[in-house]
């Protein structure tokens, strides 16, 4: 698991999240799968970086 992804008991039902946020990896992947671009995702979640989104895509493979 990339160092930008973590699991914290009790946050987002203990699912993988972006470190330092409450944004679930699953949420980002669903946004991308439904057609949102990386620019769209970053605009919706300004606390995230391009590297955060890339880390989510890495664990998807």
The pLDDT tens digits of the residues spanning 6-58 come to: 999 999 999 999 999 999 999 999 999 999 999 999 999 999 999 999 999 99
The C-alpha R_g of the chain, in whole angstroms, comes to 11
Distance separating alpha carbons of residues 32 and 2, to the nearest angstrom: 19
Look up the pTM and report it.
Answer: 0.86
Ordered by where they begin, the domains of the chain are 5-60 (1.10.10.10)
**Amino acid 59: pLDDT:** 82
* pLDDT at position 35: 96
Distance CA 10, CA 44 (A): 24
On the question of pLDDT at 61 being above 80, the answer is no
């Amino acid at each position: 698991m990339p160092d930008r992804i973590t699991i914290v008991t009790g946050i987002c039902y203990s699912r993988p999240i972006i470190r330092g946020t409450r944004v679930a990896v699953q949420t980002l992947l669903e946004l991308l799968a439904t057609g949102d671009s990386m620019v769209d995702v970053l605009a919706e979640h300004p606390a995230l970086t391009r590297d955060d989104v890339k880390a989510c895509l890495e664990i998807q493979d």
